[in-house]
Structure 1
Amino acid sequence: MTTGTYSNAYTPPVTRWKEHEKIIFRVIFIYFLVQVIPLDWKFYRQLFAISWLHLQYADIFNIAHYTPALLSGTTSYADWAIFLGVALAGAFIWTIVEKNKQHPANYDALYYWLRALLRYRLAIALLAYGFIKFFPLQSPYPSLSNLNTPYGDFTEWKLFSLTLGIVPGYESFLGLVEIIAALLLLYRKTTTLGAFIVLAFTGNVFMSNLAYGGGENVYSLFLVLIALFLFVHDVPQLTRLLAQGRPAAPVRYRYSFTHAWQRNARLAAKGLVILLFIVVYGVQTYAAAHRAPYQYPADAGLAGAQGLYNVREFRINNQVLPYSDIDPVRWQDVVLEKWNTLSIRSNRPVIIDSTNTDRIPANNSLRTFELHGAAARHYYSYVADTAKHLLVLQNRNPHYKGEQLLLHYERPDSATIILTGVNENKAAVYVVLERVNKKYLLEEVARKGRRRAIKR
């Protein structure tokens, strides 16, 4: 390795844009513009539907999570192929038009603005995810129904999410990494460091989505591509410094804002991003973590009924059905959550809802995290008429729309619930539920701590 003195006077040589570099840049420029700038009318419908005087963190997250989708409800790689086709066609037209111009476009300025746009787009995406991890909202603690579901009845993605949910400290650490990377991206001088963190962190998120069947592999790869574009800017200088041991200085092009309004507009735009996506969003996610985590419904369940219940007696059309692990009609156990969810375990097949893309629904009926990726149990939301002692149960799985149970309930004591009414097939049912005083290892370890080493 050669040694030498670093000269502050060193500046990288000024490079001219070669023709093939211009063509490649035109394709990249148009491709990212189509991906980043909302051209979908549905985005603006959603934007104008927001009550800005009563802004919720869900509104901010859904804005930040926007990606254009042409062929379905979510962005797919097929959409990317269409965007690339548009970029190639646009670059071809741009090349022909520019050949007939005496003064070509200022590619340094266009490159500057594209980097600025992508820096903020990537930072906003990281902040949106960072805060719902830092205040553990994205992967919550398992519900009581999940704790009473056999391990093998979960999909890989659900197991990954539940595993993350039982270690909120680690989830918060992951969120902190994303927030730090986002803050670095908001400043030009630290962009390369922020992009490097994203490549390592979000690249791992992308691989996890592929490995566990997550629904955000397209979106996470999109963020990785943005980070890669930003990081490549300083690769020659990093190679010169770290690999060759030669002095290097960052390549900087600073756009000249000639008018005061331009400088003020730049500061106002940056201030708006910081106010909306850091201050307002951060405060609201903190409040939500302590008040109403979005993955579970906010409506309260039947008072004092939370728990796991064995089905002591089960009758259908006045015929007693004995306990059976293979009977698709006879219930095995029932769980009532502290919110208005009742889940029934039986041998009746469950079509798994694998909708695991990230959204923050404001409507309780759309908060279906507890049943995503889970078999063995049917999940119902319910409305309790405490005057008539009536429960109206609605299956929350989108594959069972319209499935409803009408059940009257009696509570002869604090540990027993008697249900009578009709099931999803309009057959008469009579069910006696008996609460199980069950202890959960996760809660015991959290309460007492592990005192002994695990036996080998």
Structure 2
Amino acid sequence: MQDVTAIQWPLWRSVIFRFTAIYLGFYLSFLQWMGNLPVVSTFTELYNEIEKLLVEWGNRTIFHVKDVLIPMGGSGDTSYGYAQLCFFALVSILGTLVWSLFDRRKNYDKAYYWLMVILRYYIAMIAFTYGFIKVFGFQMSFPTLTQLATPLGDFLPMRFSWLFIGYSTPYQFFSGAAEVLVGVLLLYRRTAVLGAFLAAGVFLNVAVLNLCYDIPVKLFSIHMFVFSNILLLADAKRLLNFFVLNKPAPSSPSFTLPEKWMRIGRIVLKTAFVAIFAVVPFYSMYQSLHQVNVVSPANKPITTGMFEVVSFEASGRMNEDSLRWKDIVFENYNGGSILTTDTLFRQRYNRAYFAYVTDSLKQNISFKKRSGDSLSLFTLQYSMPDTNQLLLKGKIKNDSLKVVLKRRRRNFQLAERQFHWLSEDNR
């Protein structure tokens, strides 16, 4: 490989590079996002355990984010996430000090170039991952009957934003296509700057959305926005000349690969990257598209719709006013919700969510808290005199229950997906 330049870097630039390289080394660790591979998974578990011990030690002795750290799961903004951020920053600062004391090289042109290549492909990987999910409409779903029947004021900001995006399939496709385009542009050096520009805009929008609607991916989305701008900083002088100073912008410097095996290796690695992080996810999403809402005959819901409770006869705790069922929704999948405060179910947005499995031979329906649960909360006998009536009876624990339900013809304007080119008034 040939050096692009032999110009000595100023001290401040060398220090910033060292800090950035160490921080990205922790944040972009391949053990974090390739942990499912058979061989790598063993090292991933060990790496994660060591990191967990160090983060918790740092939190106890230095950071004090929270006495007991909550691990990251559905949320990336947990106390552990913030303690991990502090740990990465602290180690990067200390590593930069040590590196600066012992390293006296003039510049880091080669290392900087390859670090930007790694960062470029990491952003492309994330863009493909989230982009394809949106393109196929899997990240945000159209509001269910339960959600349509829930008062707007009962939703948390995150769920409100999810429904806002999920309502419009074209808008979600558009946002996903923009992310996929980011991934494609970042794969090639000629279009990398344009890809970084688009990435900065896309991830800025995501970060602001997360901040304004309290979506728990704030740290991650802010990182992606910052990383996109780090890519742009590599061409800051050229961009300043072109967009602001109206001066000629020379071509971006790059390293050549003199050996044939290196050039072949680059093609092989790029092809493997595209196959793993673009082709495979696309095909997987395409296959899943044909399986959405497909319910096997044995587990087919009784009937889809919203039912109001005509009669509710119960004994024991079920007879309390707060626990009595007011209405029940059966979705077009094996789940639904009940208007009740009963904590036996999964309470969300002032409704009780459930999953269920029916047995048409025994004429019973088993209610579960979640679809993945192996044990049922209770099982009731059911009968359907017609498609508009449903009778449930049985026991919930030691309390007897008999419920008569009648289909409620409820039309939601939001579900009609209305669109008008010509609007004569403010709708």
Query: TM-score category by the smaller chain?
Result: 0.7 to 0.9
Matches within 5 A, 1:1-400: 15-39=7-31, 46-48=36-38, 72-74=71-73, 75=76, 76-99=81-104, 104=105, 107-254=108-255, 256-292=256-292, 301-317=299-315, 327-348=321-342, 374-396=348-370
Deviations 1:71-90 (A, max 9, x none): 62255232121111122222
Contact 1:352 1:375 in 2 (8 A): no
**CA shift for structure 1 position 332:** 0.7
**CA shift for structure 1 position 165:** 1.3
User: For residue 387 of structure 1, what is the amino acid of its counterpart?
Assistant: L
Distance 2:288 2:318 in 1: 46
Matched, 1:409 2:382: yes
Distance 2:411 2:124 in 1: 43
**CA shift for structure 1 position 430:** 1.1
Distance 1:156 1:49 in 2: 41
Per the alignment, in what secondary structure is the counterpart of residue 337 of structure 2? Answer: strand
Distance 1:345 1:264, change over 3 A: same
Consecutive unaligned residues of structure 2, counting only runs of 5 or more, are: 41-50, 56-68
Distance 1:320 1:177 in 2: 51
Per the alignment, in what secondary structure is the counterpart of residue 46 of structure 1? Answer: coil
Contact 2:302 2:358 in 1 (8 A): no
Consecutive unaligned residues of structure 1, counting only runs of 5 or more, are: 1-11, 51-67, 354-373
Contact 1:311 1:432 in 2 (8 A): yes
User: For residue 413 of structure 2, what is the amino acid of its counterpart?
Assistant: L
Distance 2:338 2:171 in 1: 32
Distance 1:376 1:96, change over 3 A: same
**CA shift for structure 1 position 442:** 3.1
Per the alignment, in what secondary structure is the counterpart of residue 93 of structure 2? Answer: helix
Distance 1:351 1:303, change over 3 A: closer
> Whose relative contact order is higher, 1 or 2, with alpha carbons under 8 Å and at least 6 apart?
1
Matched, 1:431 2:398: no
Contact 2:313 2:403 in 1 (8 A): yes
Contact 1:308 1:333 in 2 (8 A): yes
Contact 1:31 1:87 in 2 (8 A): yes
Deviations 1:378-421 (A, max 9, x none): 111112222212222111399x9988122111222221111112
Deviations 1:118-172 (A, max 9, x none): 0000001011111111121111111111111111111111111111112111111
Contact 1:131 1:285 in 2 (8 A): yes
Contact 2:346 2:352 in 1 (8 A): no
**CA shift for structure 1 position 313:** 0.5
TM-score, reference length from structure 2: 0.82
Match of 1:440 among 412, 420, 427: 412
Distance 1:181 1:411 in 2: 52
User: For residue 331 of structure 1, what is the amino acid of its counterpart?
Assistant: W
Distance 2:31 2:134 in 1: 29
User: For residue 216 of structure 1, what is the amino acid of its counterpart?
Assistant: V
Contact 1:305 1:336 in 2 (8 A): yes
Distance 1:349 1:210 in 2: 31
Number of residue pairs aligned between Structure 1 and Structure 2:
391
TM-score, reference length from structure 1: 0.77
Per the alignment, in what secondary structure is the counterpart of residue 339 of structure 1? Answer: coil
Distance 2:211 2:130 in 1: 18
Distance 2:415 2:13 in 1: 59
**CA shift for structure 1 position 273:** 1.4
Contact 1:27 1:87 in 2 (8 A): yes
Seq. identity, %: 28
Distance 1:233 1:265 in 2: 25
Contact 1:378 1:395 in 2 (8 A): no
User: For residue 36 of structure 1, what is the amino acid of its counterpart?
Assistant: L
